[in-house]
Structure 1
Amino acid sequence: MGIRSITLSDFRNYESKTFEFSDGVTVIAGENARGKTNLLEAIYLLGVGESFRAKRTEEMVRFEQELGRVSGEVPLSKKDIINLEVMVNGGTVMGKIVNKRKYLVDGVSRRRKDILGYLPLVLFRPEDVDLISGSPDVRRKFLDRLMIQVDKVYEHSLSTYEQALRRRNRILDAVRDGTASRYSLAFWDGLLIKHGQVIQDKRRELTDYINGLFEKSELFRKLKVVYDLSVISESRMAQYADAEVAVGYTLVGPHKDDLIVKEGTRDLSIYGSRGEQRMAVLALKMGEIYYLEERGKKKATLLLDDIFSELDEEHKQEVLRVMSGRQVIVTTADEEDLLMFKKAEIVKLK
């Protein structure tokens, strides 16, 4: 059903602004630095519970304000509507220490995981080329942000794994300094192995699904995603035990995994042209859409952040094709792009 409306209060450059969206295509048009990407970031915050670009939560709060707020109406059916809200701050409000992010569903305080799944989202940005050419961390985040929207077991294992990893790394650092015993690692080793294996099994399932789609696609059938996992097991952790103490952090596990996209035997991150890399990104995004919809049992809302200038005609037509039948929110600074969306709602930012 998508998102019906969103209100931004002291969020980025917005003091107070409400936007309404159609069930089809809504185009947000305006010159650069008018807040188009900020709006998509706010929608993404409601759906996924985090920003796709802010390194610190307080970056999302309007300058010289303590608290930013985003709230949106999301239809669950023709009659039922749920209100999602996220409040962001720098860690203190009116002199009191508070959580930097607060999540609410229909006005009731919830955890981040409780808002996931109501508003499934797929984001397209020019920066997505980093999915191919960037660091492994970018590709792991791609997997995680997709999976947590539709798989509560994955979300739980990922959250538990990340907390255990931070704790284990602190202990490793203490063991290296002689202030803790290696026996202190035993509990955390077991926790990492248990939840790390869940994460890797589900990541493998996802990459197999995407490869299955590629095999059926005329446009992407030459592509293949290779899941390069850092196997986590009792024997591997024992193998790296001394090395981990020496460096003070964990050397194996899902936090070291990577994805490699190949055309034939060519690794496109190394040997692909810029055009081939953008094609591979589009292929991954198509896989993301179909996986999200199949597992989540509802249509995804597509957020397209000024991407058409980056695409050739063939891939532009593929994006237009996949937009059909879905809610799409598009930003553009190019008036000519409006010609592609004859039945779209147009919102112009000034």
Structure 2
Amino acid sequence: MGEPVRVALRSLTLSDFRNYEALSVTFEAPLIALVGENGAGKTNLLEAVSLLTAGRGLRRAALDDLARRDAPRGWAVSARIDGSGGETRIGVGHAPGDPGRRIRIDGADARSSDMLLDYVRVLWLLPSMDGLFTGPAGDRRRFLDRLVLAIDPGHGRRVADLERTLRARNRLLDERGSDAFLDAVEAQLAPLAVAVSYARQETVTLLRARMASQARAGQPFPQADVALAGAFEDSAAGAAAGDLEDVYRDMLAAGRYRDRAAGRTLEGPHRSDLTVRHVAKDMPAALASTGEQKALLIGLVLAHAEVAAATAGLTPLLLLDEVAAHLDPERRRALFQRLETLGLQVMMTGTDPFLFTELPPGSAILKVANGTVSVYKMS
């Protein structure tokens, strides 16, 4: 496999997006630090970039909530991307009453957001993810599904179809639908469940191998070991896909009475969990210190960026919100060196510009203030 194509964001234009009435900014550097006071709009810029790919963006916000206050016409984000096809222009936006995002690629309407994955893939790490290892399993499933989507563009649609079919089964159970109707829905549900689980497991396997490789190479962040856990995965161990579909259909049929009483489907990949262990300390990540958990998460995200670049053939854009402030100087230097080695375009945020003074040559520090972005001049 050859080297992945380097993808870079060259310009970003916002119209009535969050706190920005109008903004147009260009980017030339591979590593970019956005600095400014809290509330200046640094994370809003990252959120705009996250909307250039499939999914709901890094905040998972309702589309109407992305519009600047008192902006009656909705919002728009446009970008110029350098990638495999040369320059690509991407536009996304939303107006009141629209059923979803409007997406245009080089001036043509896109049928779905999945088409954006052919041009740009965006990964992110946010302060809200600091409790990932100690929070509910649903948060870890969503995190894993984002990782899978950067590798497998069809995964988002499969997960959506799985959730829709689960709702249909739950509704039938609640309405005491006939066995024949339940048989039909469960026949649709089983292959979707197997496909979602297999895609997750493939990503987990790739991540484990990459993180082990990083550890052997002296990666500066602690090695995490990840696994997909749950009753469905236990049933899947060693089973062929076709056999597992039969096993899951039988499991669903046998569990109808119990599921009806519970008001939901109790078995399946929608109940699975991503488990993470601190390898050196041989302990669950949830029991590690807050600093260790942050370092484990950074190492995991960097490993995923490498996996995504290798499998997709495109380097992803990486968004790191307030990551430098939580690292000691040695780890901060190690992070910047690692980012330079990865060859990705990375956008970082922070309130203190001096956190970024050790960025490698060719990096950029930009000041965000009053709805504007400008080159930061160190005093």
**Residues 2 and 23 in structure 1, CA contact (< 8 A), matched pair in contact too:** no
CA gap of 1:283–1:222, structure 2 versus 1, over 3 A, is: closer
Distance in 2 of aligned mates of 1:189 and 1:10: 45
**SS where residue 16 of structure 1 aligns?**
strand
Q: Which residue of 1 aligns with 2:113?
A: 112
Within 5 Å, give how 1:214-225 maps onto structure 2. 214-216=211-213, 217=215, 218-219=218-219, 223-225=224-226
| 1:275–1:298 distance in 2 versus 1, CA, 3 Å | same
Aligned residue for 2:68, secondary structure, equals coil
Tell me which residue corresponds to 1:100: 100
Alpha-carbon distance in structure 1 between the residues aligned to 2:104 and 2:231:
36
The answer to whether the Cα contact below 8 Å between 1:7 and 1:19 also exists between their aligned partners in 2 is yes
Moved over 4 A (4+): 219-222
Whole-angstrom CA distance in 2 between matches of 1:21 and 1:132: 34
Q: Select which of 278, 303, 316 maps to 1:263.
A: 278
**Which residue number in structure 2 is paired with residue 189 of structure 1?**
186
Q: Which residue of 1 aligns with 2:39?
A: 33
Which of 74, 80, 96 does residue 73 from structure 1 map onto? 80
Query: Greater shift after overlay, 33-42 or 47-56?
Result: 47-56
Within 5 Å, give how 1:247-286 maps onto structure 2: 247-264=262-279, 265-269=282-286, 271-286=287-302
Is 1:204 the counterpart of 2:196? The answer is: no
Query: For each residue in 1:166-203, what CA deviation from the matched residue of structure 2 results, as whole angstroms up to 9, or x when unmatched?
Result: 2222222222xxxx324322222122210111111121
Q: Distance in 2 between matches of 1:145 and 1:117?
A: 16
Normalising by structure 2, report the TM-score: 0.83
Contact kept? 2:32, 2:348, Cα under 8 Å: yes
For residues 172 and 150 of structure 1, what CA distance do their matches in structure 2 show? 35
CA 1:317–1:235: 2 relative to 1, 3 Å: farther
Question: Distance in 1 between the 2:137 and 2:153 partners?
Answer: 24
Distance change (3 Å), C-alpha of 1:321 and 1:337: same
1:330 alignment counterpart: 348
Structure 2 SS opposite 1:115: helix
TM-score with structure 1 length normalisation? Answer: 0.89
Name the counterpart of 1:238. Answer: 253
The AA in structure 1 aligned to 2:195 is V
Amino acid at match of 1:125: L
Q: After TM superposition, give the deviation of residue 38 of structure 1 in Å.
A: 0.2
Answer whether contact 1:261 1:280 (CA < 8 A) is retained: no
Matches within 5 A, 1:83-98: 83-89=89-95, 93=96, 97-98=97-98
Tell me the SS of whatever aligns to 2:109: strand
Q: CA deviation at 1:314?
A: 4.4
Does the C-alpha gap of structure 1 residues 275 and 16 become closer, same or farther in structure 2, counting only changes over 3 Å?
same
Q: Structure 1 residues 349, 279: CA separation in 2 closer, same or farther (over 3 Å shift)?
A: closer
CA distance in 2 between partners of 1:159 and 1:238 (Å): 22
Mark the runs of 5 or more structure 2 residues left unpaired by the alignment: 1-6, 233-244, 370-379
> 1:101 Cα deviation (Å)?
2.0
Unpaired runs of at least 5, structure 1? none
Instruction: Determine the structure 2 residue equivalent to 1:213.
Output: 210
Which among 36, 41, 52 is matched to residue 46 of structure 1?
52
Letter in 1 for 2:270: H
Letter matched to residue 296 of structure 1: A
In the alignment, the residues of structure 2 paired with residue 153 and residue 339 of structure 1 have an alpha-carbon distance, to the nearest angstrom, of: 40
Give the paired residue count.
338
Deviation at 1:328? 1.5
- The percentage of counterpart residues that share the same residue type is 28
> Do the aligned partners of 2:325 and 2:350 also contact (CA within 8 Å) in 1?
no
Rounded Cα–Cα distance in structure 2 between residues aligned with 1:85 and 1:121 = 15
Match of 1:5 among 11, 18, 22: 11
**CA offset at residue 153 of structure 1?**
3.7
Q: 1:56 to 1:249 in 2, by over 3 A?
A: same
Shift, 1:54, TM fit: 3.8
How far did residue 8 of structure 1 move? 0.9
In structure 2, give the amino acid aligned to 1:105: I
How many angstroms apart in 1 are the aligned matches of 2:211 and 2:67?
A: 41
Mapped partners of 1:49, 1:104: distance in 2: 15
Which sits farther off after the overlay, 47-56 or 26-35? 47-56
